[in-house]
Amino acid sequence: MDLAASVGLRLRELREAQGISLSELARQSKIGKGTLSELESGRRNPTLETLYALTTALKVPLSTALHELSPSPAAISGHAVDAVLTERFETDTSVTETYRIRIRSGTTQESAAHSPGTTEHIIVLAGTARVGELDDPVPIGPGMHASWPADVPHLYQAPAGDVEALLIVRYPR
């Protein structure tokens, strides 16, 4: 089964397990009902932005839609960011995800707020990024790191040249 079909099936399972209709999930996530139907049936490839909107509306970490879909790590792309889920760690109090990301040169990714209490941490491996809350992003270069609350709108930006980084997202349970 390819990524689109696997993710679509997982999204449908999550939605149905919570007793949420297709229409209600579309409304909560601000994703069109037709788009959501195509995603669930595997006829449409999900973007990073779409998956974040849906998993936030479902109140589950992003990795819940990607974890254990295939033997190789799940890769997903958005407008500006390519992400590969490399690790998911669960405890009684949180779910922590680790991604290898690339922010493409000259792009900006504005991310909507995630679930309450979610935080993000980034370590830049190469390039210079601007990251953090929309109204106060910080520039960071190779070997530097930053953290911010991800339950508010935030951004990733690569003003000049691709940025390679590790992103850690921590969701409270």
Assign domain 3-65 to its CATH superfamily: lambda repressor-like DNA-binding domains (1.10.260.40)
Please state the domain extents for the chain: 3-65, 79-172
Each residue's pLDDT tens digit, 63-86: 998 876 655 677 889 999 999 999
Each residue's pLDDT tens digit, 107-135: 999 999 999 999 999 999 999 999 999 99
Assign domain 79-172 to its CATH superfamily: Jelly Rolls (2.60.120.10)
- Predicted TM-score (pTM) of the model is 0.86
Beta strands in the chain (DSSP E): 75-77, 81-90, 94-103, 107-111, 119-126, 129-133, 138-140, 145-149, 154-158, 163-172
